[in-house]
Structure 1
Amino acid sequence: MKLSHGMSHSALHTVPWVLFVVAEMENMGNFHIQLSEAMKEEVKKVEAFRERQKEQRKKFESIMEKVQKRKVSLFRKTMESKKNYEARCKEADEAEQTSEKSAIVGKNGEKVRHRAKQCRQAACEAEKLYLTNIDQLESIRQDWEETHRSTCEVFQQMEADRISLLRCTLWDHCNHISMQCVKDDEFFEEVRKHLEHCDITTDNNCFIEMKRTGWHPPEPIVFESYYQRETKSRHGNGRARLTGGGEDLMRRTSNPLLESGTKINVDSRPSVLPSSEEDGSYASLLDLQQPAVDEDAYVALYNYTAQVEDELTVQRGDVVQVLERGDDGWWTVERNGQEGIVPGNYLGKL
């Protein structure tokens, strides 16, 4: 999976047909993104329309609820007044019938007639209240009916608008999807045409050419003797680590000019190097002067014994010809027809 991913972003990009395929796929993705944005806008419109209708419907429902409550309350009041009116009429009739049947005279007869008269007055008042409530209920009923009719008309129009919006939205959605399908088919057809030019061998060779690390596998790890490495190891600045010449090594490390890898010119002042009187193992620079030679002629300042096959043994005072100056501090020199490498800080310019 990782290899294929790497090829898709590196090796395959070197193949011309793949560039077109990738471009077509990107275009297709961009069109899908545009389609998703258009669909999001349509959804936002539908949501805004729904919220707007919700608020409008809530307002009319609140009006209808108030009118309905008034109508119900007045209806109950009218029914109570009706019951009271019927009860008062019944009492008045009974009182009048009692008054007519009885031939009581005096105070008792007067009381009966007075009670019948009061019952009739109560019945008349109940009738008036009942008629008033009926008139109010009719007025409320007409208001409720008109409000109900107008609210139903508004709701009907809202429903028509909702259906119309959904129909148009779905129609546009189908058009977008249909158009996207046509474009996708065109893109896929172009991709298929260019995929015909795909060459697996060429792609693999291209990938190998771009990602290879070499023509040969790494060398195997071999055993290295610790003691042999001690005798053959070299410092990065070009100095050799001598095992048999402890005295020469002591002299090299004790001289600050040699420790820093500085080249010594024999034409310099004698005070730069120790004289033979200070150290018997060094020769005076005046004794090492040789006839003028070319710029590649150097003189050996110290004795050096070859440690490996490609090194060259030199003695102090030997004149050598420098063939190559290595970056690692080891120089290739030639002396008396023999070539080899020696430490560069063992040589001085003539």
Structure 2
Amino acid sequence: MTQLQFKDAFWQITPYGLRISKPCLRTPLHPLPRIHPGDGYPSVNSLALPSTFGQAEISLCKEFTFHTGYEVLVQRLLDGRKMCKDVEDLLKQRAQAEERYGKELVQIARKAGGQTEINTLKAAFERLKQQIESVGNSHIQLAVMLKDELKGIEEFRERQKEQRKKYESAMERMQKSKLSYYKKTMESKKTYEQKCKEADEAEQSFERTSASGNQKQTEKSQNKAKQCRDAANEAENVYKQNIEQLDKVRTEWEQEHIKTCEVFQLQECDRITILRNSLWVHCNQLSMQCVKDDELYEEVRVSLENCVVESDIDYFIKSKMTGTQPPGAIGYENYYSREPNRGNSSPTQSCGMMKRFSGLLHGSSKNNAESITPSAPPLEKADGVYASIFVNEQARITSSQDYRVLYDYTAQNMDELDINEGDIVAVIEESEDGWWTAERNGQRGFVPGSYLERI
């Protein structure tokens, strides 16, 4: 299939038809790379533009028509320039959108909470925040790449404009010269035709006068016919000279027109190729961004695979455990059975026992020195509201025995002892309230008895 060229189809309307045959060069374009599923992240070199873009295709130009003209070519190039601006606007707006999106992702990642979570789920959430910030930064980088592509198209459009202006100026000069000679030739043709008509009329008048036999009139008509014929011959010579000059100008215009059409066609080929490749690269950039986003989110999925429910539950139990034994039941105390001892009650001891019992109910490890003193028998109703609670806190004194620590425990008060899993401690006292006196490395303090195991 033959390929028409601009110079074949856009001749300026003139009084002369043109038929020219001339071969034109063509070089096939290299295909641009595509991203297929599974290809992964393509290299930067795969985005390079083909080295032979913008060359005309090979064809034998058989026919040249002139039904449209040079103005159609110029209008097409102006339309192409507008298309370049449309692509620039698209890339500009897309770059702005990518930049806004990336910055918002970074802000979202930095403002996200999650500090209250623990163990594996907390690690997965922290990984998600990191990857969201990375995705945001990658979209900001994509916006920079789009701006670079936009700058390249702008520079290309301006180069084409400067080149087109030079050929447009040359064509305008040739057009004006050709039009001037054409008008001059048409005027000389009109004068030539008028002189020929006058010469014919003068000769016909001479013939009629000769037939009448009037010598004076005949001689006068003969001189007039000769003058008209000389004027017609002179007008013919001027007309022929103008025709030759017009043909010379037309030939120069034709050569300039062919050269301009070839340049304009190359410009159009370059423009179409540049925009095609730019849009192709743009799609590749967006595809690569999707691949990059998926790679970042895959790391989050890997982190979530390591999130185990049982592990997080065990971690919480070990780090926040308060004890394995529930508080004892509150027994019934008859008010009248302890009436004789009511006057000898000790408010201080009663309050101390209440505080120790309250600490056990709420899982608190806070103790004071009063809680380990021997308790008195049940006392009277305190302040007329509740009966005092009898808790036998008589410590059972034992000989020193070694125990192994099962769980970590951090001391909450000065009278408690820090212990870690695997430590060996010596138990000095085992109190029934669950708080034992232990010694480790020369330091003594209270520890939860449920955290220890006899060796």
Displacement of 1:94 in angstroms is 1.4
1:78 maps onto 2:181 in alignment: no
2:163 partner amino acid: Q
C-alpha change, 1:95 and 1:134, in structure 2 (3 Å) is same
Written as runs of structure 1 = structure 2, the 5 A alignment for 1:140-179 is 140-179=249-288
Contact 1:95 1:119 in 2 (8 A): yes
Written as runs of structure 1 = structure 2, the 5 A alignment for 1:221-260 is none
Paired with 1:25 and 1:181, the residues of 2 have a C-alpha distance of 13
Output one character per residue of 1:244-264: Cα deviation in whole Å (capped at 9) or x when no partner: xxxxxxxxxxxxxxxxxxxxx
Displacement of 1:174 in angstroms is 2.2
Contact 1:12 1:18 in 2 (8 A): no
Query: Which shifted more, 134-143 or 174-183?
Result: 174-183
Displacement of 1:135 in angstroms is 0.7
- Report the RMSD for the aligned CA atoms in angstroms: 2.9
Displacement of 1:161 in angstroms is 1.3
Where structure 2 has 5 or more consecutive residues not aligned to the other structure, the ranges are 1-107, 317-455
Paired with 1:94 and 1:168, the residues of 2 have a C-alpha distance of 72
The equivalent residue for 1:8 is 112
1:164 partner amino acid: T
Where structure 1 has 5 or more consecutive residues not aligned to the other structure, the ranges are 206-350
Percent of aligned pairs sharing the same letter: 52
Displacement of 1:7 in angstroms is 7.6
Contact 2:109 2:130 in 1 (8 A): no
Paired with 1:165 and 1:6, the residues of 2 have a C-alpha distance of 40
The equivalent residue for 2:7 is none
Displacement of 1:20 in angstroms is 2.0
Query: SS where residue 102 of structure 1 aligns?
Result: helix
- Of the candidates 8, 11, 30, which is equivalent to residue 137 of structure 2? 30
Paired with 2:152 and 2:110, the residues of 1 have a C-alpha distance of 44
Output one character per residue of 1:190-212: Cα deviation in whole Å (capped at 9) or x when no partner: 2234346398x99xx9xxxxxxx
- Of the candidates 39, 43, 47, which is equivalent to residue 150 of structure 2? 43
2:265 partner amino acid: Q
Displacement of 1:127 in angstroms is 0.5
Displacement of 1:152 in angstroms is 0.5
Displacement of 1:62 in angstroms is 2.1
Paired with 1:10 and 1:69, the residues of 2 have a C-alpha distance of 78
Contact 1:17 1:198 in 2 (8 A): no
Paired with 2:236 and 2:204, the residues of 1 have a C-alpha distance of 20
Paired with 1:128 and 1:95, the residues of 2 have a C-alpha distance of 20
Written as runs of structure 1 = structure 2, the 5 A alignment for 1:41-120 is 41-103=148-210, 104-120=213-229
- TM (norm. structure 2) is 0.40
Query: SS where residue 112 of structure 2 aligns?
Result: helix
The equivalent residue for 2:295 is 186
Query: SS where residue 84 of structure 1 aligns?
Result: helix
Displacement of 1:58 in angstroms is 2.2
1:184 partner amino acid: D
Larger radius of gyration: 1
Output one character per residue of 1:32-56: Cα deviation in whole Å (capped at 9) or x when no partner: 1111111111111011111211221
Paired with 1:66 and 1:13, the residues of 2 have a C-alpha distance of 80
Displacement of 1:73 in angstroms is 2.1
The equivalent residue for 1:341 is none
C-alpha change, 1:19 and 1:116, in structure 2 (3 Å) is same
